[in-house]
């Protein structure tokens, strides 16, 4: 059995007050179940707050980025060991917004995955194509390059690396990929990972992200090769997010 995950990517949203209210509503609305893990990924400054508020719960804590460097003169950066120090267990790496706005490239992201894993974090690597790449038949080549950069010459376990397939055109747009597109991409990713490491391919969790909401979650999570979700906008609403979590536990309804 592959692990099932639901990640809340809060992006650059929240405040001390709003985070506390959201977490309290979420805990009341969605009692956690051992069959699926929930991980909250707030902005860096709120990691200690969320660590404190989730301390005696089964909720995990993730960062939205991590530096590829260990320490030193890298103004504005945050290292994997610092994240570990404040109780973080996961790091989202290569989110499409960082690929797009911070120009993060595959080689850099491979270094970030390496730094995260070396410091005991689980790396959540986001991969996905733009609409232009999909329409011009380049989707598979793009996914291959994104995966190869990270796996070439490295061995990771399914506890160290999780993949999130997030077609870039589906993020924050309200337009989710169709079930056929999602299933096909997840199968393709798993088969390609197997060309590097068959044991990892069998065990690794591949999540879907991109306009998942309460209304489409069950259909997406019922797909054979989808092991959970990375949720942006809908993770900021306790009722929506708890409904998505329940759909992950019970996708058939």
Interface with ligand PGA (CB under 6 A), residue total 13
Interaction between residue 130 and ligand PGA (CB under 6 A): no
List the beta bridge partners of residue 62.
Answer: 90
Tell me the window of 41-49, 75-83, 231-239, 242-250 that interacts with ligand PGA (CB under 6 A).
231-239
Looking at the Cβ atoms of 10 and 46, the one nearer to ligand PGA is 10
Give how far Cα 127 sits from Cα of 68, 105, 165, 166, 181, Å. Answer: 18, 11, 5, 6, 14
d(Cα 149, Cα 232) in Å, to the nearest integer?
Answer: 25
Closest CA to 197 of 165, 226, 156: 156
d(Cα 60, Cα 50) in Å, to the nearest integer?
Answer: 10
Q: Which of 66, 115, 230, 247 binds ligand PGA (CB under 6 A)?
A: 230
Residue number closest to ligand PGA, CB atom: 232
Q: Which of 59, 232, 242, 246 binds ligand PGA (CB under 6 A)?
A: 232
The dihedrals phi and psi of 158, each to the nearest 5 degrees, come to: -70, -10
Tell me the window of 31-39, 59-67, 131-139, 204-212 that interacts with ligand PGA (CB under 6 A).
204-212
Q: Which of 211, 221, 246, 248 binds ligand PGA (CB under 6 A)?
A: 211
The token duo for 201 is 């391919």
Interaction between residue 206 and ligand PGA (CB under 6 A): no
Q: Which of 14, 62, 167, 210 binds ligand PGA (CB under 6 A)?
A: 210
d(Cα 149, Cα 113) in Å, to the nearest integer?
Answer: 10
Give how far Cα 65 sits from Cα of 77, 196, 221, Å. Answer: 9, 25, 25
Q: Tokens 């010459």, residue?
A: 153
Tell me the window of 40-48, 152-160, 198-206, 209-217 that interacts with ligand PGA (CB under 6 A).
209-217
Question: What binding mask, one character per residue, do residues 154-193 give for ligand PGA by CB under 6 A, x or -?
Answer: ------------x----xx---------------------
Helix pair 179-194, 214-221: axis angle to 10 deg = 50
Are the beta carbons of 133 and 94 closer than 8 angstroms?
Answer: no
Interaction between residue 42 and ligand PGA (CB under 6 A): no
Q: How far is the CB of 97 from ligand PGA (least distance, A)?
A: 7
* Catalytic residue list: 95, 166
Interaction between residue 212 and ligand PGA (CB under 6 A): yes
List of residues contacting ligand PGA (CB under 6 A): 9, 166, 171-172, 209-212, 230-234
């Amino acid at each position: 059995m592959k692990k099932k995950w639901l990640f809340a990517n809060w992006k650059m949203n929240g405040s001390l007050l709003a985070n506390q209210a959201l977490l309290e509503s979420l805990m009341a609305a969605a009692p956690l179940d051992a069959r699926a893990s929930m991980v909250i990924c707030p902005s860096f400054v709120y990691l200690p707050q969320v660590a404190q508020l989730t301390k005696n719960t089964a909720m995990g804590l993730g960062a939205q980025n991590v530096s590829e460097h260990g320490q030193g003169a890298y103004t504005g950066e945050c290292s994997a060991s610092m994240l570990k120090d404040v109780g973080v267990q996961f790091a989202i790496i290569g989110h499409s917004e960082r690929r797009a706005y911070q120009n993060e490239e595959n080689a850099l992201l491979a270094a970030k995955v390496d730094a995260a894993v070396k410091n005991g974090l689980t790396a959540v690597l986001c991969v996905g194509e733009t609409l232009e790449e999909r329409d011009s038949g380049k989707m598979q080549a793009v996914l291959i390059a994104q995966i190869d950069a990270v796996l070439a010459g490295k061995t990771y376990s399914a506890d160290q690396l999780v993949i999130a397939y997030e077609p870039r055109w589906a993020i924050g747009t309200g337009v989710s990929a169709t079930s056929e597109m999602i299933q096909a991409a997840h199968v393709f990713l798993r088969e390609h990972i197997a060309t590097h490491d068959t044991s990892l391919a069998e065990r690794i969790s591949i999540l879907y992200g991109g306009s998942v909401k309460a209304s489409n979650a069950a259909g997406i999570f019922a797909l054979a090769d989808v092991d959970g979700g990375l949720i942006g906008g809908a993770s900021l609403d306790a009722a929506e997010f708890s409904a998505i979590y329940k759909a992950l536990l019970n996708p058939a309804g």
